[in-house]
Structure 1
Amino acid sequence: MTAAPHDTSESVLPSPLLLVEDELLMQVRLRTILLKLGYGDQEISVVGSLAQARAILTEQPFAMTMIDIGLPDGSGIDLIHELHARDPALPILVVSAWSTEQVIVQALQAGATGYVLKERDDVEIAASVRSALRGGAPIDPFVARHILGLVRAMEVRANDQSAPPLSPRETEILGLVAKGLTNREIATLLFLSPLTVACHIRNIYKKLAVSSRTQAVFEARTHGLLP
């Protein structure tokens, strides 16, 4: 582990980090952003295909991954599925040019914890990475609009179904999760212990039949439990 610089909110950055990106210029750009956030060059592994990613994953585990969707030998969504199945708590940030509703939803359902578009400037991408490092679920504004459109389209069907019975406290905590707060930050804000917050989040996962923070927020909004 390497100590983070003063511009990060965490004292320790999760490492090593795997970057799956086939475009050379984007590899250089993202590596530069990560170095500025406090990563050491030796803590960042860069590969350009699914095959290379799978090969390096057999050699060592990673504490965080950044994945493009369009890769030379397939879709990054397949890799997200595999990584999430191995470790549901692994932060997986998608950095991609793909912005179609189908791809976005598939990536989030596969287990991605965040989704940012390559067209964003370095400051915006750095902010998304920093949020993911802190346990948040950063969603590009353009992506968020797609998701909200999908939710609205599903509202009629959702209203015909019984909403999962979240308690007021669970709804309150999930609302803070949706804002990108970590368990520790939620505990401090609500004057609860981190263990109690973790217990509430486990109950939320169970009630919504999900396995990640991003999926929980998506399902809650689908059922009208969150704005």
Structure 2
Amino acid sequence: MGELTLPVPIMMIEDQPAFKHRLDMILMGLGYPTELMISTQNLAEAEAWLQQHLPNMIFIDLELNSPAKLRFIKQLKQIHADSYVIAILTEQHTTLLFDAIQSGTQGYVFHHHTEAEMINNIKSILRGGAPLHHNLAQYILSRQTQYSENKSELEDLSVD
């Protein structure tokens, strides 16, 4: 991981202790020191810590209280636009993942990802890339197709 500059500190807003522990181990394996990783299950506490610690990378579990967490991401990106925000969620929530990206997340990890998949996604995000799961790609394409069809219909109406 020597080719990347590690953004620190890290904040984790994670509701599942087992996954938080797994993510801690992965981040330590990438070279992150534990003293620069803070975590909470509480969004209000995360908002307070945001002012004190100015984390450069935030992992946020979107499974519970998603609307409030999406608002938090939007506010965070207004305050600290350069921070990396990585959504944590299950694969079945494609719409939620799309909403997270629209709110400002740079990428995501899924609860069921292997350690290698999580490391690859994190590295890709840190290099400026964005992982794209096939379900998300299909969802984006379907929305684009719907948008194009609606736009064509509106244009046809305005010609008449």
Aligned partner letter, 1:38: G
**Larger relative contact order, structure 1 or 2 (CA cutoff 8 Å, min sep 6):** 2
Aligned partner letter, 1:70: E
Q: Structure 1 residue 155 and structure 2 residue 160: aligned?
A: no
CA distance in 1, matches of 2:66, 2:113: 25
Contact 1:115 1:140 survives alignment (8 Å): no
SS state at 2:11 partner: strand
Q: Structure 1 residue 124 and structure 2 residue 117: aligned?
A: yes
TM-score calculated relative to the size of structure 2: 0.83
* Structure 1 partner of 2:126: 133
- For residue 66 of structure 1, report the CA deviation from its aligned partner: 1.1
Task: Report which stretch shifted further, 142-151 or 84-93.
Answer: 142-151
Contact 2:74 2:104 survives alignment (8 Å): yes
CA distance in 2, matches of 1:68, 1:19: 8
Aligned partner letter, 2:37: I
Show structure 1 runs of 4+ deviating over 6 A: none
* Structure 2 partner of 1:49: 42
- For residue 34 of structure 1, report the CA deviation from its aligned partner: 0.6
Q: Describe how 1:143-222 pairs up with structure 2 within 5 A.
A: 143-158=136-151
SS state at 1:93 partner: strand
Q: Structure 1 residue 78 and structure 2 residue 71: aligned?
A: yes
Q: Structure 1 residue 23 and structure 2 residue 16: aligned?
A: yes
- For residue 144 of structure 1, report the CA deviation from its aligned partner: 2.5
Contact 1:99 1:117 survives alignment (8 Å): no
Unaligned runs of 5+ in 1: 163-227
SS state at 2:96 partner: helix
Q: Percent identity?
A: 26
Instruction: Sort the Cα spacing of 1:159 and 1:13 in 2 relative to 1 into closer, same or farther, 3 A.
Output: farther
- For residue 73 of structure 1, report the CA deviation from its aligned partner: 8.9
